[in-house]
Amino acid sequence: MIKFVDVSKTYPGGQRALSKVNFHVEPGEMVFLTGHSGAGKSTMLKLISLMERPTVGKVFINGHDLSHISRHDVAYIRRDIGMIFQNHQLLMDKSVFDNVALPLIIEGYPRKQIQSRVQAALDRVGLLDKKWNLPATLSGGEQQRVGIARAVVNRPPIILADEPTGNLDPALSWEIIRLFEDFNAAGASVFIATHDLGLIARMQYRTLTLKGGQMINDGLTESWQDRK
Amino acid sequence: MSILFKSRQSGAQQSQISKQQKLVMWFTSHVRQAITSFGELLRTPAASFMTIAVLGLSITLPSTLYILVKNLDNISANTQDAAEISLFIREGATRADVDQLIKRLRTWPEIDALQYISPEDALQEFKQQSGFGSAIDALQSNPLPAVLLIYPTEKHGSPAAAKFLLNKLTQEREIELGKVDIEWLERLHAIMAVTNELVTMIAVLLFVSVILIVGNTIRLNIFNKRNEIMVMKLVGATDGFIQRPFLYTGLWYGVLGGIMSWITVALLLWWMSYSIGDILTLYRQEFVLAGLDFATLNTMLLMSVLMGLIGSAISVKRYVDQIEPE
């Protein structure tokens, strides 16, 4: 589903964020990406969502070489990727409902479908009763769930999450991860970047570990734990 | 449309809708964005008003000048006697000679109409107008010559053409002397030509600055919404989708600015009408200030809308592209 072939990324100024990274996430897989800050996690997500382009190497999604995607088509690629951010990236002057509806409005869904889909997504994350609230009136965990509802509302085949549990306590983090498991069970490939090692340790998912821009481990959490 | 996943359908495609419905949806989405943009203008009434006033006032000035110039045009158009040529018949020419001359002149294409004033008629008129009635009665004979008044056609009524016609007419042997009272008209035409150019120059300068002002306002709008734009780009909005509300904002500035210019021009003309009336009565002109006709109003609105759109288009093109999610 997501495939990196010898991908290196050097930012203007010479900072090398990734070097020769190879991996392949299968369709329907749920994968964690971990490493210290500055290890290249964000860069990796940016390469998948086309916020950055690799300096060397190729990124494939569903077999399509992303280097062939023109600037104009980037918007259409992002519609296939549900993205979740640590700082939520919500529109603070719009209601929860409007925030979640945004991707559907952009894609030009008819009003009725927007209603029912937003309803369903909010129900899924348990925020149906707060749909007319402004994001600022919600707690951090609730805001994160709004972001998740927005990411999945158009049922994308790929879900990317950047530190989705960043500021949450363990119980809330666990809830969020459970949500991702649900989406994964529904068929989406889920790719989660986190430095919350405790969280990963409690689950048996494939984990990619980055260090200084290089992939130092690709395997089950257990094997990573063994070496510790 | 999904590029990566061929089987995946999205949005409009999914619900199998007809072309007609698609058009309706496209239309309603535009209307929705237009209304949203209008709502945003109302949310910052003071700032919006300033931009609208800039547009409105900058159209007011050239429009007012234009209307004044047009009125001057009307004066010169109405003043047929300006290009009226007086021909004085040579002494000794008989009435038959004059009739011959008139017959010949009627065939000239340059001449619209002509009028013969016999010496007796001329004397009569002079008596009435000059107030020397009794003095003239004392004259032994009539000193006034017969006069032919020539009214050139519109095409030959301009100062230059009328002079040319005068030259041609004085070649006729029955004619002693010809006169065309044209100097003041020449001056008027020269002033009007300069004024016309001035109006154009002022208009162009103002319009350019207005486009820059609108562009700058929209640029600030764009930067204020930097976050919103980034989020929209992250969830897959095309540049076009993001740009549209700003273009509608520019459109609204234009529409409202145009309406404002109608009002200010009407007020200005009303205010000036007294002083203009005074000048015109000096020239013995029937004063009707031809003001805002439908075409002028339309042009003003169109110019305003165009400036609003061009200004916002420049900014939108330049700055929406630049904002990329980080």
**pLDDT tens across the length of chain A (228 residues):** 899 999 999 999 888 889 899 999 989 999 999 988 888 888 999 999 999 999 999 999 998 999 999 988 999 999 999 999 988 899 998 999 999 999 998 888 888 889 999 999 999 999 999 999 999 999 988 999 999 999 999 899 999 999 988 778 888 888 889 899 999 999 999 999 988 887 787 778 899 999 888 888 887 655 444 444
* Minimum-distance CB partner of A154 among B10, B25, B231: B10
Q: Which residues of A touch B32 (CB under 8 A)?
A: none
Q: What is the DSSP letter of B172?
A: S
Radius of gyration of chain A (CA): 17
Q: Do A89 and B234 touch (CB under 8 A)?
A: yes
Looking at chain A from residue 33 to 92, which residues have their Cβ under 8 Å from any Cβ of chain B? Answer: 49, 51, 61-62, 64, 69, 72-73, 75-80, 83, 85, 89-91
Q: Rounded to an integer, what distance in angstroms lies between the CA atom of residue B5 and that of residue A187?
A: 14
pLDDT band for B286, please (50, 70, 90 cuts): low
Residue A147, token pair as written in the block: 């972001």
Q: Give the residue carrying structure tokens 């076009």.
A: B240
Q: Mapping DSSP to helix (H, G, I), strand (E, B) and coil, where does residue B109 land?
A: coil
Helix (H), strand (E) at residue B115: strand B111-117
Q: Rounded to an integer, what distance in angstroms lies between the CA atom of residue B60 and that of residue B68?
A: 12
Rounded to the nearest 5°, which phi and psi values hold at B145?
A: -85, 165
Q: What local confidence, expressed as pLDDT, does residue B128 receive? A: 77
Collect all residues from B whose CB is shorter than 8 A from any CB in A. Answer: 1-5, 8, 10-12, 14-15, 17, 25, 29, 227-228, 230-239, 241, 324-326
| Contact pairs from chain A to chain B, CB under 8 Å | 86
Q: What local confidence, expressed as pLDDT, does residue B17 receive? A: 59
Reported pTM: 0.73
Rounded to an integer, the average pLDDT of B22-45 is 86
Distance of CA B118 to the CA centre of its chain: 44
Distances (CA, A) of B63 to A112, B57, B322: 49, 10, 37
According to CATH, what is the number of the domain B85-180? 3.30.70.3040
Rounded to the nearest 5°, which phi and psi values hold at B324?
A: -125, 145
- pLDDT, one tens digit per residue, over B162-219 is 778 888 888 887 888 888 766 777 777 788 788 888 888 988 998 999 999 999 999 9
Do the bridges between strand B147-152 and strand B111-117 make them parallel or antiparallel, or are there none, so unpaired? antiparallel
Answer for the pair B147, B124: CB distance below 8 angstroms, yes or no.
no
* CA atoms in the 13 A half-sphere facing the CB of A208: 26
Q: Degrees (nearest 5) of the Cα angle B38, B44, B45?
A: 85
In chain A, whose CA is at the least distance from the CA of B326? A51
Q: Give the residue carrying structure tokens 């459109």.
A: B251
Answer for the pair B65, B272: CB distance below 8 angstroms, yes or no.
no
pLDDT at B16 over 60: no
Q: What local confidence, expressed as pLDDT, does residue B273 receive? A: 78
* Minimum-distance CB partner of A76 among B233, B236, B324: B236
CA dihedral sign of residues A12, A90, B3, B315: negative
Largest CA distance in chain A: 53
Alpha-helical regions (H) of B79-171: 95-105, 119-130, 133-137, 159-170
Q: Which residues of A touch B3 (CB under 8 A)?
A: 64, 69, 73, 76-77, 80
Q: What is the mean pLDDT of chain B?
A: 82
Rounded to an integer, the average pLDDT of B7-27 is 67
Q: What local confidence, expressed as pLDDT, does residue A224 receive? A: 45
Q: Edge-to-edge strands of the sheet including A64-65?
A: A16-25, A2-10, A56-61, A64-65
Largest CA distance in chain B: 115
Answer for the pair A56, A8: CB distance below 8 angstroms, yes or no.
yes
Distances (CA, A) of A168 to A164, A199, B205: 9, 12, 58
pLDDT at B161 over 70: yes
More reliable by pLDDT, B126 or A65: A65
Q: Mapping DSSP to helix (H, G, I), strand (E, B) and coil, where does residue B117 land?
A: strand
- In sequence order, what are the residues at sequence separation of 6 or more whose Cβ sits closer than 8 angstroms to the Cβ of residue B82? B76, B157, B181, B182, B184, B185
For residue A80, give how far its alpha carbon lies from the nearest alpha carbon of chain B (Å): 7
Residue A104, token pair as written in the block: 């559907």
Q: What local confidence, expressed as pLDDT, does residue B135 receive? A: 74
Distances (CA, A) of A32 to A44, A218, B201: 12, 10, 66
Q: Degrees (nearest 5) of the Cα angle B142, B143, B145?
A: 100
3-state secondary structure chain A: CEEEEEEEEECCCCCEEEEEEEEEECCCCEEEEECCCCCCHHHHHHHHCCCCCCCEEEEEECCEEHHHCCHHHHHHHHCCEEEECCCCCCCCCCCHHHHHHHHHHHHCCCHHHHHHHHHHHHHHCCCHHHCCCCHHHCCHHHHHHHHHHHHHCCCCCEEEEECCCCCCCHHHHHHHHHHHHHHHHCCCEEEEECCCHHHHHCCCCEEEEEECCEEEEEEEHHHHHHHC
Q: Give the residue carrying structure tokens 């609108």.
A: B214
pLDDT band for B138, please (50, 70, 90 cuts): confident
- pLDDT, one tens digit per residue, over B47-99 is 899 989 988 998 888 888 888 777 777 666 655 545 678 888 888 778 888 88
Q: Rounded to an integer, what distance in angstroms lies between the CA atom of residue A134 and that of residue A152?
A: 20
Residue B124, token pair as written in the block: 């009569």
Among residues B180, B177, B171, which one has the least CA distance to residue B90?
Answer: B177
Q: What local confidence, expressed as pLDDT, does residue B129 receive? A: 74
Query: What are the boundaries of each domain within chain B?
Result: 33-77+187-320, 85-180
Which of A47, A79, A83, A99 should be substituted to probe chain B, the one whose Cβ sees the most B Cβ atoms within 10 Å?
Answer: A79
Q: Rounded to an integer, what distance in angstroms lies between the CA atom of residue A147 and that of residue A110?
A: 22
What are the DSSP calls for B268-296, one per residue? HHHHHHHHHHHHHHHTT---------HHH
Q: Do A91 and B228 touch (CB under 8 A)?
A: yes
Q: Mapping DSSP to helix (H, G, I), strand (E, B) and coil, where does residue B151 land?
A: strand
Q: Rounded to an integer, what distance in angstroms lies between the CA atom of residue A170 and that of residue A151?
A: 22
Rounded to an integer, the average pLDDT of B263-287 is 75
Q: Rounded to an integer, what distance in angstroms lies between the CA atom of residue A77 and that of residue A158?
A: 11
Rounded to an integer, the average pLDDT of B285-312 is 82
Give residue A130's identity as a one-letter amino acid code.
Answer: K
